[in-house]
Amino acid sequence: MLSPYASARRRHADIRSDVYSFVRDQYVRAGVVTTDLRVTDIDRTAMEAWSGTWMGRRHPADAGAWNWPLLIECMPRRAAILPVALWSGDDLCGLILGRASRHRQTGVRHTVTLTYVERRPEPPPVPLRGEIVLLALSIATAYGKAVGASRIRLGYPEPRLIGWYERLGFVVARSGGKAVYCEREIKP
């Protein structure tokens, strides 16, 4: 018999697996991506691919370049997390790290927060270029619906993308003139 925590981790792993399949199938059916798209949890294989193709490389805009093994090591030790690897075949194209808020006293989760979203630095060209953030939002939305969250939050958004996030329906929360997060409701 599993402990309550182990049971919750298993349940959320199953939810994530279903969400990954749902979003992948949606994007393939729409013709946005090819059938080579794979969506998985960030695991040892993803970290080995990161070490071989991303580590030490910077994006031209100097965004991202996070130490993903450290982020994974420091991620919250709870069941409702989103550690996502986006692949085109064997090419690790994107990494996403997020989490769902804790249950409220009413039993409802409030928010799914995406804290880190990054595309592999180029060259070579990234097959999923232009789709990483949209895939991240689709995954967060589907996961949010599955766990009963009412909104998506982008923590510490890249300042150069604020206008784009607003066009996607996000409202920007600012403190001292700086964007602290962007948020939008999850529509039923």
pLDDT for 79 equals 84
How far is the C-alpha of 135 from the C-alpha of 141, rounded, in Å? 10
Query: Does position 131 have pLDDT exceeding 90, yes or no?
Result: yes
Q: For the ranges 38-42, 106-110, 165-169, which has the lowest average pLDDT?
A: 106-110
Q: What is the pLDDT of residue 144?
A: 95
Give the residue from 113, 110, 174 showing the smallest Cα distance to 140. Answer: 113
| Average of per-residue pLDDT across 144-148 | 93
Does position 69 have pLDDT exceeding 80, yes or no? yes
Interval 50-76 mean pLDDT: 83
pLDDT at 133 over 90: yes
Phi, psi of 39 (to 5 degrees): -125, 120
Could you check whether the bond before residue 124 is cis, i.e. omega within 30 degrees of 0?
yes
Residue 12: predicted pLDDT? 92
pLDDT tens digit sequence for 78-130: 888 999 999 999 999 999 999 998 766 665 668 999 999 999 998 889 999 99
- Would you say how long the chain is, in residues? 188
Residue 182 lies in a domain: no
CA geometry: angle 185, 40, 184, nearest 5 deg: 10
CA 165 remoteness from chain centre: 15
Confidence at residue 149, expressed as pLDDT on a 0 to 100 scale: 93
Average pLDDT (150-160) is: 92
Query: 58: pLDDT confidence band, cut at 50, 70 and 90?
Result: confident
Do the domain assignments include residue 185?
no
Q: How far apart are CA 188 and CA 145, in angstroms?
A: 7
The helix/strand/coil state of 179 is strand
Residue-wise pLDDT tens digits, 106-117: 656 689 999 999
What is the pLDDT, as a whole number, of residue 109?
66
Measured CA to CA, the distance from residue 148 to residue 23 in angstroms comes to 17
Residue 107: exposure state from Cβ atoms within 10 A (0-12, 13-18, ≥19): exposed
Q: What is the DSSP string of 8-60?
A: HHHHHHHHHHHHHHHHHHHHHHTTSS-TTEEEEE--HHHHHHHHHHTTT---T
The reply to whether 17 falls in a domain is: yes
Query: Using 50, 70 and 90 to split pLDDT, how confident is the model at 16?
Result: very high
Q: Cα separation of 123 and 169, whole Å?
A: 32
Instruction: Confirm whether 124 is domain-assigned.
Output: yes
What pLDDT score was predicted for residue 105? 63
User: Which residue segment(s) compose the domain that 133 sits in?
Assistant: 4-157
Mutual angle of helices 132-147 and 4-29, in 10-degree steps: 130
Question: pTM for the full model?
Answer: 0.92
Mean pLDDT, the chain, integer: 90
Q: Please state the domain count of the chain.
A: 1
What CATH number has the domain bearing residue 113? 3.40.630
